[in-house]
């Protein structure tokens, strides 16, 4: 945690650390928000009087449950399920479910905390929460994934609802898992409550553009950042980390806007394709075959490099879009980007840059957008899905995409206006955090101590 806190905020941060021992990712997310609050520290007696910050750092409800299931060979497996219902001031708890072996309470709390301010920035009526499990879908059969999802929902169903808490996808949870989760919810509740989950398939209540939304939204946001300097994606060299849902659709939109994505990565390394990533091959390998990038490299033969050591950030680029996972872009990577003259970093993942990396980028004058602003397109489109479900309507791809683009333009404008208002023009981190925080805090004051 590189930046120091305002003296009025340091004791509050120390209290969060003492109260939540060992939860380093959660501490990191809270610290990042608190750094941005310096301009209002001590200047909003109403927030202090109502203990707003203290209440914000304590989730409204934290659920941890056992998820028992049986493998194809008859073995009983036990996983741990989580749902952290962080803040429902602006609407029902809203946020994804992550299935990944690294999932623990700290990760879910950091994600839930970020989600509150991200969701506030979208301007939609949604609170924030997050959930998931340490279950690893990799290498599991269809039936095993289905049984796990059914067991997970057997417990989760009693805590969620369209007016209570609305989960969606995240890492390891896509259309397939959401289908099994929704099927089990429908069966045990005997209700076709479409608005209880988002990211649904198009034939069973889903929205156009939801699949593409996080990646597209990140690129729309980056497009606005470039435009603020009179630039565009046209002719730019772009590196995207990851090759999951966010990364794939970031690649797609960059290509549509005239940029060239020269590299993508996964946990086994990265591929450099100087001709530009072959998107249909990437989708075939990752979405249909659920294979590694080595399969992409094999299919492209000698035309690409598959690198299994180092980091994708070693590939020189004008624009870097971290779309993999938390803390994937560290200080040394930030230094490499600066040395290569990268001008823009916009986060598609949640908290992919470490605090130290952010400081290095910002001090070097690199335009940097935090995920809670630049990746808000996913959850914003989830809110559009809820809107369509509530009115039993469905909109066209074009209309939905235009709404998403407009929301991203709006978030970008809010970030810049807020940063300017509080004396640090161009600081997207401060702009995003303050704009989100103030919206939630004002509503919390209005609703009293609950
Ligand atoms: N998991 C996504 C995020 O990090 C989307 C959440 C949602 O659509 O509710 O924002």
- For residue 272, what is the DSSP state? E
Catalytic site residues?
A: 130
The model's pLDDT over 348-361, given as tens digits with 9 standing for 90+, comes to 999 999 999 999 99
SS3 assignment for 347-412: CCCCCCECHHHHHHHHHCCCEEECHHHHCCHHHHHHHHHHHHHHCCCCCCHHHHHHHHHHHHHHHH
CA 213 to ligand 1 centroid distance, Å = 10
The model's pLDDT over 387-431, given as tens digits with 9 standing for 90+, comes to 999 999 999 999 999 999 999 999 999 999 999 999 999 999 999
Give the nearest ligand 1 atom to 97 CA: 1
Give the nearest ligand 1 atom to 166 CA: 9
pLDDT of 301 above 90: no
Nearest CA to ligand 1 atom 8: 379
Give which of 114, 19, 109, 28 is closest to 327, Cα–Cα.
Answer: 28
Mutate to test the pocket of ligand 1, among 88, 107, 168, 174 (most ligand atoms within 8 A of CB): 168
Predicted pLDDT at 3: 82
Token reading at 374: 């630049």
Residue 113: pLDDT band (50, 70, 90) is: very high
- Residue carrying structure tokens 């909109």: 395
Q: How many CA atoms lie within 13 A of 434 on its CB side?
A: 25
CA dist 378 and 96 (Å) reads 10
Report the share of the chain in percent with pLDDT over 90.
98
Mean pLDDT of 98-122: 98
Q: What residues line ligand 1, using a CB cutoff of 6 Å?
A: 94-96, 168, 170, 198, 350, 378-379, 382
Token reading at 110: 């950091």
pTM: 0.97
Mean pLDDT of 255-284: 97
Mean residue pLDDT across the chain: 97
Give the nearest ligand 1 atom to 94 CA: 9
The model's pLDDT over 8-39, given as tens digits with 9 standing for 90+, comes to 999 999 999 999 999 999 999 999 999 999 99
CA 170 to ligand 1 centroid distance, Å = 6
List, in order of start, the domains of the chain with CATH numbers: 10-56 (no CATH), 61-191 (3.40.50.10860), 213-374 (3.40.50.720)
CA 9 to ligand 1 centroid distance, Å = 29
The model's pLDDT over 152-162, given as tens digits with 9 standing for 90+, comes to 999 999 999 99
């Amino acid at each position: 945690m590189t930046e120091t806190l305002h003296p009025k905020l340091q004791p509050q941060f120390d209290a969060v650390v003492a109260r939540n021992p060992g939860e380093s990712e959660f501490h990191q997310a809270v610290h990042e928000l608190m750094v941005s609050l310096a301009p209002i520290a001590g200047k909003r007696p109403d927030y202090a009087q109502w203990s707003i910050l203290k209440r914000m750092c304590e989730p409204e409800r934290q659920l941890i449950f056992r998820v028992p299931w049986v493998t194809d060979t008859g073995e009983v497996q036990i996983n741990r399920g989580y749902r952290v219902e962080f803040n429902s001031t602006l609407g029902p708890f809203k946020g994804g479910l992550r299935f990944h072996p690294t999932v623990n309470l700290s990760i879910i709390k950091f994600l839930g905390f970020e989600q509150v301010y991200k969701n506030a920035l979208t301007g939609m009526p949604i609170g924030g929460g997050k959930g998931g499990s340490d279950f690893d879908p990799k290498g599991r059969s269809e039936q095993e994934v289905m049984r796990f999802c059914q067991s997970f929902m057997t417990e989760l169903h009693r805590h969620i609802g369209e007016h209570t808490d609305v989960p969606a996808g995240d890492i390891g949870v896509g259309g397939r898992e959401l289908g099994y989760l929704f099927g089990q919810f429908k069966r045990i509740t005997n209700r076709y409550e479409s608005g209880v989950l988002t990211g649904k398939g198009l034939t069973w209540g889903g929205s156009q553009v939801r699949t593409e939304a996080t990646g597209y939204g990140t690129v729309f946001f980056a497009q606005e950042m470039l435009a603020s300097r009179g630039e565009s994606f046209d002719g730019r060299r772009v590196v995207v980390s990851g090759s999951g849902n966010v990364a794939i659709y970031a690649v797609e939109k960059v290509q549509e806007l005239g940029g060239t994505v020269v590299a993508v990565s996964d946990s086994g390394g990265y591929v450099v394709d100087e001709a530009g990533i072959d998107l249909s091959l990437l989708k075939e390998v990752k979405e249909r075959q659920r294979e590694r990038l080595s399969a992409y490299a094999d299919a492209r033969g000698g035309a690409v490099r598959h690198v299994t050591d180092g980091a994708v950030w070693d590939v020189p680029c004008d624009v870097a879009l971290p779309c993999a996972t938390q803390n994937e872009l560290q200080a040394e990577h930030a230094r490499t980007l600066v040395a290569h003259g990268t001008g823009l970093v916009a986060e598609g993942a949640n908290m992919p840059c470490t605090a130290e990396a952010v400081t290095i980028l910002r001090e070097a004058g690199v335009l940097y957008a935090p995920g809670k602003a630049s990746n808000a397109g996913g959850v914003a489109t989830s809110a559009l899905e809820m809107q369509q479900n509530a009115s039993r309507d469905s909109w066209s791809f074009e209309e939905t995409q235009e709404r998403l683009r407009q929301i991203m333009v709006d978030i970008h404008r809010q970030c810049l206006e807020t940063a300017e208002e509080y004396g640090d023009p161009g600081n997207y981190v401060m702009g995003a955090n303050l704009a989100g925080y103030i919206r939630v805090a004002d509503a919390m004051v209005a609703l009293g101590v609950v």
